[in-house]
Structure 1
Amino acid sequence: MTRPLNRAALGRPAAPVRILHLGLGGFFRAHQAWYTAHAPDAADWGIAAFTGRNTEIPTRLTAQDGLYTLVTRTPESDRREVIHSLSAAHAGADHAAWLDYWRRPELAVVTLTVTEAGYTRARAGGLDTALPQVRADIEALHGDAEAPVGTAAARLLAGLAARRRAGSGPVAIVPCDNLPDNGPATARMLRELAGELGRPSWHAAAAHASYVTTMVDRITPWSTPEDAATGWTDAAPVVTEPFTEWVLGGAFPAGRPAWEEAGARFVSDVAPYEQRKLRLLNGAHSLLAYAAPLRGHATVAEAVADPLCRAWLVDWWQEAGKHLNFPARDLADYRAALLERFANPRIRHALAKIAEDGSQKLPVRVLPILRAERARGSLPGGAVRVIAAWLLHLRGDGVPVNDAAAPARPALFRTRPARYWPPSIRGSPRTAN
């Protein structure tokens, strides 16, 4: 028999909201919310989180007073805990509530997990003002500074502007997505949006924050209500792996939770850690997402169990490792840990999900290695394999394409015979190529 999951039953009141989050998905709830719940001062640091567009998840979480079960899944067993750091959950369309939190003097930190595509960046790294959703938000804010907007850039800038008008002090904006220099990238996005809006007040709003750079890591696949199984009726559980890492660098003008006591690391230079993760973990994920389905695999664990896919990983890691600022022993340990994490058969990490928005991911995960190797006169087989598999993916092979920014698929991709593509990708899972 199960019991309703609520704070009265647990005797755990909601903490006052001092953190605002954009992107109410499983990763946020397994990562930033987990670190906050495990900080010794968690009782002082509640989180109000907003979705992008989804209304179902905030409805489920609100019915549970923001509580949910985190299932930490090892190859042998599950460990379950109820996470209590989420004090409020809102649908993204609730723009009035979003601005209200920004006006509060006690707000100190704003985190976001909106995926690479959510930063609406152009190829050169700045704000892509040609995107219809960006243009629509610019038009809306030109007419009314508090008009409902949809892109992450506009939502953040509108919030900062509302905060300045209310006379509240600066906050720390903490992006937690897989972008190099994600703090400066976010700052640039808001500065350029302010430039499009023109008025000095918008520029002052963009400057009314510090921008913290981060590296985040925790594999978090999709879950179902059945994953909770704790004796509580939980409509919003999250499944994750035991490993977790959070590296941060930057200023917090209004304070922050003691995340370091929960295992987070604060450093002066995040770049080596983010490059290691982007290249070795995320680059490997992209390789498997596009190449492994061509051999019949649906999850990361299935792919890593295939000796040929493991050999492809080794090829990629050897190339990428040459361009990372870490001792060889540390990189070897990191790669060994990745293989162990990837091989966990009870973490069903779907390759189709990883494959989404490849046109946003490959330029930061793979192309820097390809360019660096070509500059040295080398043709890097590992990087070329990722690009070749991605082109096959765009052609319609493997998992379905889900990438709004993907290049149009020309006739070349649709008609070129398979013999033109690398036979080691096309091989059977039973073929020791």
Structure 2
Amino acid sequence: MTDAAPRLTRAAMLRAGTSLPVPPVRIVHLGIGGFHRAHQAWFTARAAGGERWGIAAFTGRSAGVAESLEPQDGLYTLVERGAETDRFEVIGSIAEVHEASSPRFDELVAAPQTAVITLTVTEAGYHLDAAGALDLADPDIAHDVDAIRRGGASLRTPIARLTRALRLRHDNGAGPVAVVSCDNLPRNDRVVEDAVARFAAACEWDAAPWQVSFVATSVDRITPRTTPADTREVEQETGWHDEGVVVTEPFADWTLSGAFPAGRPRWESAGARFVADIEPYERRKLLVLNGGHLVLAFGGLLRGHATVADAMRDPACRDALDRFWEAAAVAVGAEIETADYRRALTERFENARIAHHLSQIAVDTATKLRLRIVPVLSAALADGRDPDAALDVLRDWAACLRSGLIEPGRAPEELRTDLIAGLEAGLAATVVTAVEPTLHPIALAEEST
């Protein structure tokens, strides 16, 4: 921190002539990171009447965000990085920020004034088994079930924290609440509802009467990691020293489907979309955008590129992306358009001022491939079309693993199980055969049935 630039706080802003009062907490968020601050917190800050909907945010894997934002009263600068210029905005919707283990989480979830609970814990944070259900054999889940049975307070997983807090809310008679997953999982509402029910049952609780509505969402806003250069730029341009800077693209999309029995912010006034059927929007986003990112990540890393924009300038990567998008459009189906969506994505991916690193995309890759690439492969095989556009993504993934360009993250057998989880035997065999020549040294290509 420099002497010339004061730390960003509500009191400092008031002294400078700008009032950002602390909003009353009515939303609890678990898993605060850059994406939550660029997306749900931003939508809430911009919603009509949003000043009445404060967020109490809790960290996920690391306490770092809490350590950065707590001294700033939850304030942070959002930088919208367009193709030519930047826009700076101080976001004031986060009223409190705490570490995940804070007892304040239970207290606020159980409070009658809390109407919405949102989650961004990543796909891996749900601890799902091969069938897509909560894995009760997972060591961290098993630890948390045992801790609750023994009356312990230290929990490791988001689902355990959420379930325990929802039970406390029920016991306190605090009324209905909506739980909104903002993670890239198909039908994330059903995933969370089932996970809560399974965890509760393992603890010998009945979650059926808990008055919880689970809301499905599709979320979209490219948010790369903040760099020291971004923090310096904010200080130079705004005059504030800010340890919580978030950089994102101008585009933002949020599609929701479900009931909010205790009320919600008017997110639609900030551009959110409420629909009766989430699945077409979800499918388009997962296969076209997220699948496209994987195409560029693996192919781009193999060709020596660092960012999405770098890969978009490589004709070979662009050709692979276009071929995959053609196949993905068929898999998405005709009930929702993809042509305009792809044109907009092309412009977004080409924004060289958004340094979306391929290494940031290429994590938890087996799970992502199963959800975002394998459905495109399956649709091509079912229709008798050429499957190579999707198979090439699997092959590039395998090549990246073998060459050390990405970290496996888990044991080979766990990667294999995750990659083919829930697939019928013929499709599983096709997937394993595609990666076998390159991945055999890490024993991924075993008998698939």
Same fold (TM over 0.5): yes
Match of 1:311 among 319, 327, 333: 319
Give the corresponding residue for 2:204.
198
User: Is 1:90 aligned to 2:98, yes or no?
Assistant: yes
**Cα distance in 1 between the residues matched to 2:264 and 2:52:** 10
Give the corresponding residue for 2:300.
292
Give the corresponding residue for 2:179.
173
What count of residue pairs does the alignment treat as equivalent?
410
User: Is 1:413 aligned to 2:419, yes or no?
Assistant: no
**Cα distance in 2 between the residues matched to 1:27 and 1:303:** 22
**Cα distance in 1 between the residues matched to 2:373 and 2:280:** 16
Partner SS for 2:175 = coil
Pairwise CA distance, 1:52: 1.2
CA contact (8 A) 1:114 1:177 kept: yes
1:334-349 aligned at under 5 Å gives the runs: 334-349=341-356
- Note closer, same or farther for the CA distance 1:320–1:365 as it changes in structure 2 (3 Å cut): same
Pairwise CA distance, 1:227: 4.2
Give the corresponding residue for 1:32.
40
Pairwise CA distance, 1:68: 0.3
User: Is 1:321 aligned to 2:321, yes or no?
Assistant: no
User: Is 1:143 aligned to 2:133, yes or no?
Assistant: no
**Cα distance in 2 between the residues matched to 1:150 and 1:14:** 30
What does the per-residue CA deviation read over 1:72-105, in whole Å, with 9 as the maximum and x for residues that have no partner? 00111110000000001111121x1111111211
Task: Pick which of 330-339 and 83-92 moved more.
Answer: 330-339
What does the per-residue CA deviation read over 1:160-199, in whole Å, with 9 as the maximum and x for residues that have no partner? 0111121101210000011110111110111111222223
Match of 2:254 among 222, 226, 246: 246
Task: Pick which of 375-384 and 214-223 moved more.
Answer: 375-384
**Cα distance in 1 between the residues matched to 2:148 and 2:333:** 43
CA RMSD of aligned residues (A): 1.9
Which amino acid in the other structure matches residue 184 of structure 1? Answer: R
Pairwise CA distance, 1:299: 0.7
Pairwise CA distance, 1:372: 1.9
Give the corresponding residue for 1:157.
163
**Cα distance in 1 between the residues matched to 2:309 and 2:437:** 34
CA contact (8 A) 2:399 2:438 kept: no
Q: Could you list the runs of 5+ residues in structure 2 that have no partner in the other structure?
A: 14-18, 418-434, 443-449
CA contact (8 A) 1:358 1:403 kept: no
Pairwise CA distance, 1:415: 4.8
Pairwise CA distance, 1:267: 0.5
Give the corresponding residue for 1:112.
119
Pairwise CA distance, 1:327: 6.3
Which amino acid in the other structure matches residue 413 of structure 1? Answer: L
Give the corresponding residue for 1:125.
132
1:6-21 aligned at under 5 Å gives the runs: 6-10=9-13, 11-21=19-29
What does the per-residue CA deviation read over 1:397-416, in whole Å, with 9 as the maximum and x for residues that have no partner? 43334457534999962659
CA contact (8 A) 2:331 2:380 kept: no
Q: Could you list the runs of 5+ residues in structure 1 that have no partner in the other structure?
A: 417-433
**Cα distance in 2 between the residues matched to 1:272 and 1:210:** 21
Give the corresponding residue for 1:428.
none
1:392-431 aligned at under 5 Å gives the runs: 392-402=399-409, 406-407=415-416, 413=439, 415=441
**Cα distance in 2 between the residues matched to 1:411 and 1:291:** 17
Partner SS for 1:62 = helix
TM-score between the two structures when normalised by the length of structure 2: 0.87
Give the corresponding residue for 1:216.
219
**Cα distance in 2 between the residues matched to 1:218 and 1:403:** 28
CA contact (8 A) 1:53 1:91 kept: no
**Cα distance in 2 between the residues matched to 1:309 and 1:403:** 27
CA contact (8 A) 1:137 1:151 kept: yes
